[in-house]
Chains A and B, each alone.
Chain A
Amino acid sequence: MADIPSDAPQHCPGTASEQAGKTSACQGCPNQNLCSSGATKAPDPAIEEIAEKMLTVKHKILVLSGKGGVGKSTFSAHLAHALASDATKEVALLDVDICGPSIPRIMGLEGEQVAGLSLCLSPRYVEDNLAVMSIGFLLSSPDDAVIWRGPKKNGMIKQFLRDVDWGELDYLIVDTPPGTSDEHLSIVQYLSSARIDGAVIITTPQEVSLQDVRKEIRFCQKVQLPIIGVVENMSGFVCPKCKVNLPPTTGGAERMCEEMNLTLLGRVPLDPRIGKSCDEGKSFLSEVPDSPAAAAYHSIVQSIQAYCLSHVTREESAG
């Protein structure tokens, strides 16, 4: 049964929800008895369909953060660019931030919408070997708001994974919205039969960010999602006049990684040119290749590649 059947009431909790058939919204729904019996909570067949689809995708990396605005999309985009700089690799970037899709702009693909809500799920190409998919491409105008509740967002994510013709990929990078909710549960659930290499967690040095990121790390542990490591973004700002650098107040990502036994993949300094590149849809790595931030990105990307390759080697020797 569909997650939200076509005859469901407005506040349908979703047929796979624990509350299926039991909420006040379920009263009078023709599916109520079926839902409350538990029959609809059988494993979604899409999970196996997606696993089948993902057999041609060698590595899957999620980019997560509990906190908004720390640079997930920026990082995802530049990870994709860096991996695709090797012309022999096929890379794809999937944006599952349904309400706030930033990837089209950051990848220079804004304006690639088609008129009306499109059912066309072909990825757009930035380079021959770099494909991108986002709900942003399905909206007819950049002002269109996607005002969807959880179940409808879940359905879109399922479609992205199952119905987009990804083809053979070396890397599938998934950019996520902040939080630990529908989108995150769905992406993990739908990829549960297809091995995810791991998650890269993005933070900034501030405690207000770290406190949300610790929750994201707990989420990963709860759903048994391996964590490749943590990236500290906007790491330090040196005043151009007095040259004073302000340290983080609670030890930043470094201390959090020590406490939680995680790898700190690297720190990317706050460079205003990164934001400008993103706004213009260009790769910062191409625009300002000699900057400390670009060097930091490259080092982090190398660590992620090494992790993915060692992961495969461990599996091959075990199996």
Chain B
Amino acid sequence: MRYNDKELQALSRQPAEMAAELGMRGPKKGSVVKRRLVKLVVNFLFYFRIRFGPIGALLLEHCRVIHEEPNSFSISFLEDPERKYHFECCSEEQCQQWMAALRQASYEFMRRSLIFYRNEIQKMTGKDPLEQYGISEEARFQLSGLKA
């Protein structure tokens, strides 16, 4: 799959939701923990060599964030839940902060939230809150777009 490296690099330089030095271990068997600068930008998790450039990115759609003992969490993806990217934090508090941020860092999460809010507001007030923005017909905001 082709993608533009410069586009991703530019994105990695955007303001981050969260950024910290964490211990990171890749999913391959026998990987060791390495200190990385980890940055959450929109629905991507970038990881940098400290003081050097970005190494890679993880798209956070359809991912699962699990607490690992101690002070750690892992990210895995729908198509291979056993393949985990492991991150070590310096404290349980930092770990919880990252987990909370990562669980909300997907477009799909936002879509579901929006549809939920829209539905709730509509039920409570009888009005579609998206109408005033002229976006009520957009495919991305339809209830039908949700899986059961």
Do they bind each other?
no
